[in-house]
């Protein structure tokens, strides 16, 4: 499986509860924080839901 790096770029203030929980599930708490995940369909779906708050790059 390919790996992806997900970096939180924007704040979760004034976002829906679902988006906040998705960021938390990805392991992102602070702006600028980066986590590495396998590029599974579950993770990619989560990233798609918050694509306006994060940046994604191949690892």
Question: Can you give the pLDDT at residue 53?
Answer: 98
Which is it for the CA torsion 40, 6, 50, 24, positive or negative?
Answer: positive
CATH for 3-52, among 3.40.50.970, 3.30.1390.20, 3.40.50.300, 2.40.50.180? Answer: 3.30.1390.20
Question: Can you give the pLDDT at residue 40?
Answer: 97
Q: Where are the domains of the chain?
A: 3-52
Question: Can you give the pLDDT at residue 1?
Answer: 83
Which token pair is 57?
């790059």
Question: Can you give the pLDDT at residue 39?
Answer: 97
Please say if the pLDDT value at position 59 is more than 90: no
Which is it for the CA torsion 26, 27, 32, 35, positive or negative?
Answer: negative
For 13-26, the pLDDT digits (tens) are 999 999 999 999 99
């Amino acid at each position: 499986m390919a790996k992806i790096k997900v970096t939180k770029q924007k704040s979760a203030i004034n976002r829906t509860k679902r988006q906040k929980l998705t960021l938390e599930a990805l392991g992102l708490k602070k702006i600028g924080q980066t986590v590495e995940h396998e590029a599974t369909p579950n993770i990619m779906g989560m990233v798609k839901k918050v694509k306006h708050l994060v940046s994604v790059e191949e690892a």
